[in-house]
Structure 1
Amino acid sequence: METLGPANAFPEEPEIAEAVRAVEVAIDAGVKPQRIPQGSSGSYFVRNSVGNIIGVFKPKNEEPYGHLNPKWTKWLHKVCCPCCFGRDCLVPNQGYLSEAGASLVDQMLNLKIVPKTKVVWLTSDAFNYSAIDRAKSRGKKLAMERVPTVGRRFNRLGLPPKVGSFQLFVDGYHDAEYWLRRFESEAISENAAQDLQQQFERLVILDYIIRNTDRTNDNWLLSYNSTSQGNDDKNEQVDSDHTKAMASVRVAAIDNGLAFPFKHPDSWRAYPFHWTWLPLAQVPFSPETCEMMLPTLSDPSFVHELEENLLRLFKEDKGFDRTTYENQMSVIRGQLLNLEKALHQGLSPFQLVQLPAVRMERNPAMETSHLPSFSPFQEVYTQNFRRQKPFFSWW
C-alpha cells in the first residue's frame, strides 16, 4: 500500500490522525478492511494491527451510484428505474464530503454527537477496484521483480489510493430503534430522560441545518449507561436510586452522507425526518438547548465562518462547482433562520419542521460589519429570499 502522506495529516485532530495512521500500518501488515454488508454502498470497517475496528471508511467511487459500487441492488436500480435515479436535490457522488461536512458542523456548534470524520486516502486490495486497475498493479509488480531498472520508473506501485470519508468507530452503541422500544417498556430515571431529550434535540439541530434526507431510527445510535461507575468489591452496592441518578444517554449521529442539498426536496419526495413522529419531537426545545445555541446563531460571524469552512472542504472534490455550492449555502442559511426562530419562540422539533422552507441567497451589497449582533440573518439576507411549502404541508 502507498498512501499520499500529507493528504492524511491532521495536526489539529490528533485522535483521528492517530487512527488513520494505525489503519495504514495495519493494512501494510495484512489486516484487511472488512466490507459492511448492510447499506447500499461499498463501506468498510477498518481495523488496527490487532484487529480491532477503529473506523468506517466510505470511498467516493463506491457510493450508492458510484461506478465501482459493489452492491448489485443499486446497479439494478440504475438500470431498471432510471426515472427514480438518486436524489435530485443532492450533488451526485459527494456523500463522503457530506459525512465530513456533518462532522464539521457538529464541531462548530459543539454538539458532540457526530463521530469525528475526515476526508482521507486509503489503499487496500479489499476495496472494489476495476479489472484494469488490478491488472496494472500486477503488471507493475511483475516488472519491478523481473526488470527493476524499469520498475523504478513507475510513479506508483500497487493499486491507486481511494478518497473517501473516514469516521471514528463508536463502541457500546445500539441503533435508536432498539433503545426507544426498550424505553417504552422500561422506566428510566428523570436524569436519563433529561439526557435523552437534550441529546435528541442536538440530533434535530444537526439534521435540520444540514437538511439530512436520510435520517431514520436505524441510522442514529444511542448509548444508555444505567449503572454507576467506579465501584469495586470492597464497596457496598450503591442503592438503586443513586444508580438511576447516574444513568446517562448519549447519541451518535452516523450515516450523514445524504445531506447538504442544493435545493429543498420536492413535495412528491419530501424525505422527511423520521424522528418527527417520536414523542420526543413533541416537547419544546429545552432552555438548556436554547441557551447553548442562540448565542452562536445570533453571532454575525458564525454563518460566514461556517460557509468558509464548508467551502474549503467541498473544494477538495474535483467536480466542485461554485454555483452549486452557493445554492447549498442558500438552503443552510434558510434552515438556520428557521431554527433561530423556533428557539426564540419556544417551538418543538415537530413545529420546527412545519415552518415554511426558506432559501436565503447572499446579498453582497451589504457588509456584515455594519450589522447589529442580534441577528445575522434578518439584516443580511431578507432582501433576497424565497419561501417554499412546508416540509409537512399535508398535516
Structure 2
Amino acid sequence: MARRAISKDSNLRQEELGPSLSVTPSAVSKSSVSHQSAVTLNYFPDDFEFSAIVQEIEAAIEDGIDPTLCAKGSSGSYFVRDRQKHIIGIFKPKDEEPYGQLNPKWKKWIQKHCSPCCFGRGCLIPNQGYLSEAGASLVDRKLELNIVPKTRVVRLGSTAFNYGAIIRATARTKKSIVESVPRLGKRFNRIGLPRKIGSLQLFVHGYQDAEIWLKKFDTTPLSEHTAEHFQHLFERLVVLDYIIRNTDRGNDNWLIKYEPAPPKTVVTTKDHSVIIGETNKLFSALHHIPMISNLEQPATNIYPYYQCMVKPICCIHALFDVDPEVVVKPPIEIYIAAIDNGLAFPFKHPDEWRAYPYHWAWLPQAKVPFSKEIQDHLLSKLQDPAFVRELCEDLRALFKIDKDFSNHTYEKQMSVMRGQIANVVEALQEEKTPLQLVQMPVMTIEHKHKKTSRTPSLQEEFTRHFNQTRPTFSCC
C-alpha cells in the first residue's frame, strides 16, 4: 500500500514525478560501463527510459544507497532510490511476497502457523504477485487507461533485502576469496548477494490513499466539472480491476491526487463608448497596415500595428459579457493511480470461503451508468477478437518469465479474463452501472483448440461456462 509511480499519460503526467525521475543520458552512460550486468538483466528495448531508471537504481545500490523496507503492507516491499537519494520506485521481490518463504513481515508468518486453513487464496497462483503487478500495468497500457504506474519485472540485489543465512554466508565467502586470492575470485560470475527477481513500479508523488480523499469529498463535494472527470477516471479503475479480477482492491490501495487551483477572475468593462472607440481604432489600424510583401523588415515594421490591435481585440469580447466578472474555470487537478495489483489474474473465480469483492462497488460513483467516454474508448478494442488474442499473448510472454510457468494454468487464467471482458462489453453496451457489472453472473470462456480446414469462427474457438459455485462469505 505504498505510494508508487506514475506512467506517462495525460491524466498522470510524467512531469509530476519531479526531479527524481530525471535520469539524464549522461548519467546513464557513466554507469553503463561499470554496470554492464545490470544492462544485460534489466534492459528493455522498447522502453529506454525505464531501462535508464533501473540502471540508475543499480548504480545507487553500488554506491551504498540501499533500498529501505516499506513499513506498510504484509510483504517485503522496498523503496528504491537514485544517486541523489530520491525515491523513484518500489521493488517487490518474488520470494518476499505475502506468501513467500522470505517474507520479512510477521503478519503472514503468524497467519500461516496459527490459522493455516485461512492462509493463502485458493484462486491465485502462489508467489506470482510480481507477475500480477506487471500484468496489470501491461493491461493498462494495452487499453490506454493510464491509471497504473508503469511496472516491469526486473532483478535487483542489495544487502537490504531478506536473504537466507546460507546465501549470506556464501556471499561473504566469495568476498573473502576475492580479497585474499584475486585470481581465483575472477572466476565468480557475481560477487555479493544474488539478484532477486521481482516487480519494479515507478514511484508516484503527491498522492494519498483514496479513502482519505473520499471522506473529504463527502463533506466538501467536488465541482461539477471535476466530479465528471473523477467519474471517468473511476470507471477506468472499475474496468481494470474487473478485467484482471483483482482480489484485493480496497479504498486504501488506490490513490487520489487532488490539488484544486484557485479560480481566476477577469474583470471586464461595460462602457460601450470605450468599446466603440477602441473598435474604431482597430479598423483604422487594419486599414493602414501595409502589405507584408512590401515591408523590407516585416517583423520590425508590423509590430506597432500589432501592438495597437491587441487592446481593441481584448476589449471587443466585453460586448458579449453579461456579468461584470467572468470566472475562468481552473484546469482539472484530480488524478488517480491504481496500485497494489499483486493479487489479480486468478485461474478460477473465487468459490471457497471468501468472495474478495471490489470495495469501490459501495461508493456512490458505482451507481452511475458507464459514460459515453468509456464506451467510445474501450468497446472497439474489447469487441475485437484479434485485440483480445494479442492481449492474451502479451500476457503469456510476460508470465513465461517465471521458471514455474504452466501453460495449463495460464490458459485457465485467460479463460477467467475472457469471461470478465465479455461481461464488461455487455455492461458498456447496455449502459449499466459498475455496481450492476459486479452483480452479473461470472463465467469463463475456454479456448477449445479446434483444428479445421477453414478459419474457425469465434463460436468454434471458445466455449462459455458460467460459474455455479459461490463462496461462503460474499462481503469479504
**TM-score (ref. length: structure 2):** 0.76
Aligned: 1:255 with 2:340: yes
**2: CA distance between counterparts of 1:163 and 1:314?**
13
214-223 vs 130-139, greater mean Cα deviation: 130-139
- The residue correspondences of 1:358-377 to structure 2 (distance < 5 A) are 358-365=443-450, 371=457
> Which residue, out of 288, 305, 328, partners 1:242?
328
Task: State the Cα distance separating 1:75 from its structure 2 match.
Answer: 1.0
**1: CA distance between counterparts of 2:71 and 2:403?**
29
Counterpart code for 1:336 = I
Partner of 1:333: 418
> Which residue, out of 180, 184, 208, partners 1:174?
208
Partner of 1:198: 232
Deviation string for 1:116-145 (max 9, x for gaps)? Answer: 000000011011111111111111111111
1:354–1:392 CA contact under 8 A, matched in 2:
no
Aligned: 1:309 with 2:394: yes
Deviation string for 1:322-362 (max 9, x for gaps)? Answer: 11101000100100011100001110000000000101101
**1: CA distance between counterparts of 2:39 and 2:51?**
11
Partner of 1:386: 466
Gap regions ≥5 residues in structure 2: 1-34, 266-324
**2: CA distance between counterparts of 1:30 and 1:369?**
58
> Which residue, out of 243, 250, 259, partners 1:216?
250
Counterpart code for 1:386 = F
Task: State the Cα distance separating 1:156 from its structure 2 match.
Answer: 1.7
Distance 1:135 1:392, change over 3 A: closer
2:38–2:55 CA contact under 8 A, matched in 1:
no
Deviation string for 1:284-312 (max 9, x for gaps)? Answer: 00010011110001112011101100000
Aligned: 1:47 with 2:81: yes
SS of equivalent to 2:442 = strand
Distance 1:364 1:149, change over 3 A: same
Distance 1:36 1:229, change over 3 A: farther
1:214–1:256 CA contact under 8 A, matched in 2:
yes
Deviation string for 1:46-74 (max 9, x for gaps)? Answer: 00011111000000000011111111111
Distance 1:73 1:3, change over 3 A: farther
Distance 1:118 1:240, change over 3 A: farther
Distance 1:394 1:264, change over 3 A: closer
Task: State the Cα distance separating 1:365 from its structure 2 match.
Answer: 2.2
Task: State the Cα distance separating 1:152 from its structure 2 match.
Answer: 1.7
SS of equivalent to 1:121 = strand
**2: CA distance between counterparts of 1:253 and 1:307?**
21
SS of equivalent to 1:308 = helix
Partner of 1:92: 126
**1: CA distance between counterparts of 2:77 and 2:249?**
18
Distance 1:295 1:27, change over 3 A: same
1:65–1:86 CA contact under 8 A, matched in 2:
yes
**2: CA distance between counterparts of 1:115 and 1:38?**
18
Aligned: 1:34 with 2:68: yes
**2: CA distance between counterparts of 1:119 and 1:216?**
24
Structure 1 or 2, whichever has the larger Rg, is 2
Task: State the Cα distance separating 1:393 from its structure 2 match.
Answer: 10
2:60–2:66 CA contact under 8 A, matched in 1:
yes
Percentage of pairs with the same residue: 54
Task: State the Cα distance separating 1:18 from its structure 2 match.
Answer: 1.9
Partner of 1:357: 442
Aligned: 1:112 with 2:192: no
**2: CA distance between counterparts of 1:379 and 1:226?**
53
Deviation string for 1:252-296 (max 9, x for gaps)? Answer: 000000000000001530000000000000000001001111000
Distance 1:384 1:358, change over 3 A: closer
Deviation string for 1:203-235 (max 9, x for gaps)? Answer: 00000000000000000001113116999xxxx
Task: State the Cα distance separating 1:394 from its structure 2 match.
Answer: 7.1
Partner of 1:272: 357
**1: CA distance between counterparts of 2:263 and 2:60?**
33
Task: State the Cα distance separating 1:15 from its structure 2 match.
Answer: 2.7
**2: CA distance between counterparts of 1:103 and 1:72?**
29
Counterpart code for 2:246 = N
> Which residue, out of 186, 193, 199, partners 2:220?
186
2:443–2:465 CA contact under 8 A, matched in 1:
yes
100-109 vs 11-20, greater mean Cα deviation: 11-20
SS of equivalent to 2:370 = coil
SS of equivalent to 2:337 = strand
Counterpart code for 1:324 = T
2:353–2:472 CA contact under 8 A, matched in 1:
no
Partner of 1:236: none
**TM-score (ref. length: structure 1):** 0.91
SS of equivalent to 1:31 = coil
2:263–2:327 CA contact under 8 A, matched in 1:
no
Distance 1:119 1:42, change over 3 A: same
Distance 1:60 1:229, change over 3 A: farther
Aligned: 1:346 with 2:431: yes
Counterpart code for 2:403 = K
Aligned: 1:300 with 2:334: no
**1: CA distance between counterparts of 2:104 and 2:467?**
40
2:134–2:152 CA contact under 8 A, matched in 1:
yes
**1: CA distance between counterparts of 2:139 and 2:206?**
24
SS of equivalent to 1:150 = helix
Distance 1:364 1:129, change over 3 A: same
Gap regions ≥5 residues in structure 1: 232-238
Alpha-carbon RMSD:
2.4
Counterpart code for 2:427 = A
Q: Would you say how many aligned residue pairs link Structure 1 and Structure 2?
A: 381
